[in-house]
Amino acid sequence: MNYRNEIIEHYAANPDVPVLILGGGVNGTALLRELAAQGVDALLVDKADFVSGASSKSSRMIHGGLRYLENREFALVTESILERNRLLANAAHYVAPLKTAIPLTSWFGGLLRSMLIFMGFKIRPGERGVVPVKFGLWFYDFVTRKNRMTPTHFITPKAEALRAMPAMRSDIVATATYWDAWITEAERLCIELIQDARCANAGCRALNYVRPRGLDGPAVVLEDLLTGQSVSVRPQVVVNATGAWVDLANRDLGLETHYMGGTKGSHLVVDNARLHRMLGGQMVYYQHADGRVCIVFPFMDKVIMGSTDIRIDDPDAARCDEPEVRYMLETLRGVLPNMEIRRDQIVHVFCGVRPLAASGSKVTAVVSRGHSIHTDEPDGPRPFAVISLVGGKWTTFRSLAEQSADAILARLGRPRKCRTDAMPIGGGQDCPVGQERRKQWIARIARETNLPEARIADLLARYGARAETYARQAATDAGSNAADKADAATAPARDAKIEWAETPLKTLPDYSVGEIRKIAAEEYVQHLDDLVCRRSIIALLGRATEPALTELAEVASEVLGWSAARQAAEVTRALDELRMPE
C-alpha cells in the first residue's frame, strides 16, 4: 500500500485529529513542523501540490523590507530582519546574503511624499533620494547591531557607481549598497519542513491534491483529488493557511469571511549573459517612474526580474500576461537603458498572488505585508474553531507559525515544549557555511565517494548537508567507490542496476537517474510538474524543454508506475503549466 492510501485508511479508522491544516505553502508547512516539535498531531492537506501557491512564486528575497519603513512598519521590518538572520543560520544551504545596489537620482527626493506616507496618507510613493534611503538603511544596521550577519550599508558616488555598472542610467547622483538575503530552493525548503515534521512526530501527516468538501456533522470531508476517494476527519481546530484562498477555503467550511485582498505579481527569468555579467552577483533594487519598486538579480546562470502588483479577485485565474511582460521590460529599460533584452531570452515566467489583508487602499504598494491571525469560534454545526492566517511574507513564516502554534496550544491546553528559532531546517543541519568550509566539505565527500567535486557541489547546492546521503548512495549505486569497483566483476547484476542509477540524464546531465528516482519516490511527487516546478528549479531556470520533460517522465515512471499514456499526459500537462504569455 502506498503512503497516501495508508494515511487515508488511518483516518478512516481514526478520524480524530487535534489540528487540521488547510494549505501547504510555506506557512502551512512551517506550522506542521512547529506543531510536530511540540508533540501535537496534525494533518496538512493541500488542494494542489505543496508550495504551488505564492510560496513558489515569490521574488525569493529573505528581507527586512526597506520600503515598509515608510509605512511606519518598524515592528514588521525588525521581525523580518531577525527572521532573515535566523534563516541565514538555520537554512544556510539555501539562504545566503545578497548584496544590493539602489540607484538614487537625487539627494532629498521623495522626502515630502515619504513623510506624508509616514503620517498615514495612502499615496503612491515617489522616487526616493539619498537621504530617505540612508535613513532606512541606518535602521537596518541598527536592528542587527548585536547579531550582525551581513555587512553594513554604504553610499557610492556617481562616477564610481557608473564605473562599476556602466549600463546604469546616467542621471544618478549615487548608489546605496546594502545586504539582504535570497533563497535558492524555496520550494525544497517547504518539502523539508514537511519531512522534518514527519521525523519529529509520526502523528503529523501531509497530503497534496486533497481538498475539503464541506462538513458532515462534526467532521470535515476531505476528497483525494487523484482518486476521488473521500475520508472524514474530526479536528479540534482547523487552521486555514491557504494564503490568497483563505476566504474561499472558509466558504468550504460554511464560514463567510472577507479577510483577503490579494494582488498578483509576475516575474521574468531571462537568459542574457551581458546582464548577468553586469550585475556582478548583486541585485539592483530600483524604482520605476510610476513609483513601483522593482528588482533584478542574478539567479544561478539566469537573471530574475520583477514584479508587478495588480489587484485580483480569483487567485486561480492568476497568470502572467503580455502587458505585464512589456511593463517589466520597460521598467528595466528605465534603470539600465543600454541593456537590450530580446523576447527569446525570456526562458520562464511565473505569477503568484500575494495573500494581502483586505484593504480599501487603491495603492497596493502601501498595503501592509504584515500578518495577522483571525479566529472564528465554533458556530452552529461547526464544532471546531477556524484559525485563518492572513497576510505575511515568506521571510516571516517561522514567526507566524510560532504565533499560530501558541494560539493552538492554548486552545488544546498543551504546553510549548521547545522553540524553533535556532532549529536547523532539513539539509541546513550541519551544512558547511562559508567558502573555505564548503570547499573542504566537498573535497572530503568527493574523496570518500570517488565522485567528482563538481557533482558534490551540485548536490550540496540542491540538498544541503543531505547531499552526503545522496553522494554515498550515488557512489554505491555507480560502483564508483573502491570497494564497489572491486566487487563489480563478481556482481554483474548488481553492477547493472547500479550503473543505471548514477547515469547522467541525457537532457540534463547535471542530474542523475538515481537522483530523480529518489525525489520521485520520497518527496510526494504526483505529477511531472511537481518534480520540475517544486522539487527542483529545473523549470525556473527554463530547462524544462519537451525532450527534458519526456526523459524525466520516463525516469519518474520507474518508481511511480506511470504507463506510456500517462507519461505523455504528464508531459502535456507540464508544458501547459509552463506555457509563455502570447
> How do beta strands 154-157 and 371-376 pair?
unpaired
Q: Check binding of 305 to ligand FAD (CB under 6 A).
A: no
Select the span of 6-14, 93-101, 386-394, 574-582 touching ligand FAD (CB under 6 A): 386-394
What's the min distance (Å) between Cβ of 472 and ligand FAD?
Answer: 33
Helix locations, 226-291, DSSP H: 246-252, 273-279
Q: Check binding of 27 to ligand FAD (CB under 6 A).
A: yes
State which of residues 140, 394, 463, 562 lies at the interface with ligand FAD (CB under 6 A). Answer: 394
Name which of residues 351 to 380 contact ligand FAD (CB under 6 A).
Answer: 352-355
State residue 376 phi and psi, 5-degree precision: -105, 115
Contact of 390 with 246, CB cutoff 8 Å: yes
Q: Check binding of 20 to ligand FAD (CB under 6 A).
A: no
Residue 324 is given by DSSP the state H
Q: Check binding of 399 to ligand FAD (CB under 6 A).
A: no
Write the secondary structure of 453-504 as one string of H (helix), E (strand) and C (coil).
HHHHHHHHHHHHHHHHHHHHHHHHHHCCCHHHHHHHCCCHHHHHHHHHHCCE
What's the min distance (Å) between Cβ of 193 and ligand FAD?
Answer: 11
Name which of residues 324 to 353 contact ligand FAD (CB under 6 A).
Answer: 352-353
453-463 vs 435-449: helix crossing angle, rounded to 10: 120
Cβ closest to ligand FAD, residue 106 vs residue 404: 404
What's the min distance (Å) between Cβ of 211 and ligand FAD?
Answer: 4
Cβ closest to ligand FAD, residue 54 vs residue 95: 54
Select the span of 99-107, 359-367, 393-401, 469-477 touching ligand FAD (CB under 6 A): 393-401
What's the min distance (Å) between Cβ of 565 and ligand FAD?
Answer: 27
Select the span of 388-396, 435-443, 484-492, 561-569 touching ligand FAD (CB under 6 A): 388-396
At which residue does the C-alpha cell 540542491 appear? 462
Name 188's Cβ contacts closer than 8 Å, sequence gap at least 6: 94, 426, 462, 463, 535, 536
What's the min distance (Å) between Cβ of 528 and ligand FAD?
Answer: 17
Select the span of 39-47, 122-130, 155-163, 459-467 touching ligand FAD (CB under 6 A): 39-47
Q: Check binding of 47 to ligand FAD (CB under 6 A).
A: yes
Q: Report the SS3 class of residue 363.
A: coil
Q: Check binding of 48 to ligand FAD (CB under 6 A).
A: yes
Q: Residue 146: left if φ>0, alpha if ψ -120 to 50, beta else—which one? A: alpha
Task: Give how many residues touch ligand FAD by CB under 6 A.
Answer: 40
CA dist 242 and 248 (Å) reads: 9
What's the min distance (Å) between Cβ of 271 and ligand FAD?
Answer: 21
State which of residues 8, 28, 194, 462 lies at the interface with ligand FAD (CB under 6 A). Answer: 28
State which of residues 307, 331, 526, 567 lies at the interface with ligand FAD (CB under 6 A). Answer: 307
State which of residues 11, 20, 36, 53 lies at the interface with ligand FAD (CB under 6 A). Answer: 53
Cβ closest to ligand FAD, residue 353 vs residue 357: 353
CA atoms within 13 A on the CB side of 265: 25
Quickly count: other Cβ atoms within 10 Å of residue 457's Cβ: 17
Name which of residues 239 to 268 contact ligand FAD (CB under 6 A).
Answer: 241-245, 249, 252, 265
What is the residue-wise DSSP string for 277-321?
Answer: HHHTT-EEEEE-TTS-EEEEEEETTEEEEE---EE-S-GGG----
Cell numbers standing for residue 507: 537532457
Name which of residues 201 to 240 contact ligand FAD (CB under 6 A).
Answer: 211-212
What is the residue-wise DSSP string for 47-60?
Answer: SSSTT-SGGGSS--
User: Residues interacting with ligand FAD, by CB under 6 A?
Assistant: 22-28, 45-48, 52-55, 57-61, 63, 211-212, 241-245, 249, 252, 265, 307, 352-355, 392-395
